Amino acid sequence: MKLVPIDGVLHLTFPQEMDLAPFAVFFDRGALDFKRRLGGRGGGHLIYKAIGKTRCRVLDVTAGWCRDAFLLASLGCDVTAVEKSELIFKLLEDAVTRGQSDSDVGKILTRLHINHGDGREFIEREQWDVVCIDPMFTGVAKKGLNKKESQVLQKLGTYSSDAELEALIDLAIGHSERVVVKRPLKGSLLRANPVAQFKSGSTRFDVYKGVDRGTIDKGDSERR
């Protein structure tokens, strides 16, 4: 795999796999076209319900293509997103640079701060309102990502064991008011005792209570 600029856009190319076309990230088209995605119903998104509040500080420790992070930023959250894969991060960085030249997308991007590194380290840096965790899982394509996005993510993304993810959730619980974990609908709980779950289609968000500072709404979830 190689990063190559094509017509001013950084693409990931797959010289060994002729059937895979070059891949790039865009914040203003496809699944991320926020105008189409929001369409005046931002509050209807499941992740919005799981977060419980729009104007809060969110740490997304599993940035991926920043679909969720960008959506949260477009809903008014201030989002710090961390991605471990250097190739994914470089594609994101290029998308952010291009997106800044569009006035609508650029406004949203002022609330999205992307970082290359291990999300674990960012959790410990400060107290967050919300920490979001969307771990890699094998098998089913990720909801919200198109086939190509899922395919490339499966190749580049960092996988963790369930034990590592449970420890990550525990760490986040100690450094935030709320921890939101995205799971496949029928996926196992990565940690016991979520205080709420939000389900739709093939996706589930498990919500864990962190340190109570009183700034997050309790939400109207299906409580457990």
Ligand X SMILES: C[S@@+](CC[C@H](N)C(=O)[O-])C[C@H]1O[C@@H](n2cnc3c(N)ncnc32)[C@H](O)[C@@H]1O
Which of 42, 67, 54, 60 minimizes the C-alpha distance to 180? 60
Which of 60, 65, 54 minimizes the C-alpha distance to 27? 65
| Count of chain residues binding ligand X (CB under 6 A) | 22
**By C-beta, is 49 or 84 nearer to ligand X?**
84
Q: Which residues contact 98 (CB under 8 A, 6 or more apart)?
A: 8, 9, 26, 27
**By C-beta, is 64 or 194 nearer to ligand X?**
64
Classified as helix, coil or strand, 85 is coil
Q: Which of 47, 51, 59, 66 binds ligand X (CB under 6 A)?
A: 66
Residue 92 has phi, psi (to 5 degrees) of -65, -45
Q: Which of residues 106-125 bind ligand X (CB under 6 A)?
A: 118-120
Q: Which of 129, 134, 177, 206 binds ligand X (CB under 6 A)?
A: 134
Q: Does 64 bind ligand X (CB under 6 A)?
A: yes
| Shortest reach from residue 149's CB to ligand X, in Å | 7
Classified as helix, coil or strand, 168 is helix
**By C-beta, is 167 or 195 nearer to ligand X?**
167
Q: Does 141 bind ligand X (CB under 6 A)?
A: no
Residue 151 corresponds to which tokens in the numbers above? 């395919």
The span from the CA of 186 to the CA of 199, in Å, is: 10
196-200 and 2-6 as β-strands: parallel, antiparallel, unpaired? unpaired
Q: Which residues contact 157 (CB under 8 A, 6 or more apart)?
A: 64, 85, 88, 136
Q: Which of residues 143-202 bind ligand X (CB under 6 A)?
A: 153, 157-158, 160
**Per-residue contact track with ligand X, 19 to 38, x per CB under 6 A?**
--------------------
Give me the residue whose beta carbon is nearest to ligand X.
64
**By C-beta, is 116 or 209 nearer to ligand X?**
116
**Per-residue contact track with ligand X, 75 to 94, x per CB under 6 A?**
-------xxxx--x------
For CA atoms 155, 200, 210, 194, the dihedral sign is negative
Q: Does 65 bind ligand X (CB under 6 A)?
A: yes
Q: Note the residues at the interface with ligand X (CB under 6 A).
A: 61-62, 64-68, 82-85, 88, 118-120, 134, 136, 142, 153, 157-158, 160
